[in-house]
């Protein structure tokens, strides 16, 4: 019985970290879905570091979001024999976050150029990020 408890405890505890908190109706919820092309992580909102890179909640109004995107550039795009990893910081500025609304960040790349856009719950594009620096970020 003890062995079963010892084995089950780490599994149960890891499941707790997968749960998302409740949405605060006084704030806007921004979600970063998993991407097959690469990894998108929330880094900062208004210069403040974030605790969780999967989502964040913010007060209504204007905010500047910084995200890190890691992806691979296909070998054919650069004349190489293998794909090249690339990591970039991008900044998105949006002035109309609304309380109680859900948003999501969608991302992708074209060759060396990453793109990130903010979408509302219906999938309508609201804003696009501007590319920041790429490399060891």
What's the pTM?
A: 0.76
Q: How far apart are CA 22 and CA 17, in angstroms?
A: 14
Q: Mean per-residue pLDDT for 103-116?
A: 89
Percent of the chain whose predicted confidence (pLDDT) is above 70: 80
Through-space distance between the first and last CA atoms of the chain, rounded to whole angstroms: 47
Domain hosting 27: range is 21-134
Q: How far apart are CA 52 and CA 42, in angstroms?
A: 8
- Locus of tokens 């976050």: 97
Q: What is the pLDDT of residue 17?
A: 47
Q: Please, what is the average pLDDT of the chain? A: 83
In the chain, how many domains are there? 1
What does the pLDDT look like over 9-62, one tens digit per residue? 454 444 444 565 677 889 999 998 876 667 899 999 999 999 887 889 999 999
Sort 72 into a burial class: Cβ within 10 Å, 0-12 / 13-18 / 19+.
Answer: middle
Strand partners, 119: 104, 125
Establish if 16 belongs to a structural domain: no
Establish if 49 belongs to a structural domain: yes
Establish if 130 belongs to a structural domain: yes
């Amino acid at each position: 019985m003890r062995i079963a408890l010892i084995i089950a405890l780490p599994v149960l505890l890891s499941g707790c970290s997968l749960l998302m908190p409740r949405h605060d109706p006084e704030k806007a919820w921004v979600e970063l879905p998993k991407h097959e092309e690469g990894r998108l992580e929330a880094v900062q909102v208004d210069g403040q570091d974030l605790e969780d890179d999967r989502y964040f909640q913010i007060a209504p109004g204007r905010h500047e979001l910084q995200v890190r995107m890691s992806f691979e550039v296909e070998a054919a795009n650069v004349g190489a024999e293998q794909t090249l990893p690339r990591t970039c910081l991008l900044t998105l500025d949006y002035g109309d976050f609304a309380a109680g609304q859900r948003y999501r960040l969608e991302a992708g790349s074209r060759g060396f150029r990453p793109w990130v856009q903010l979408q509302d719950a219906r999938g309508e594009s609201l804003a696009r990020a501007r590319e920041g620096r790429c490399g060891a970020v």
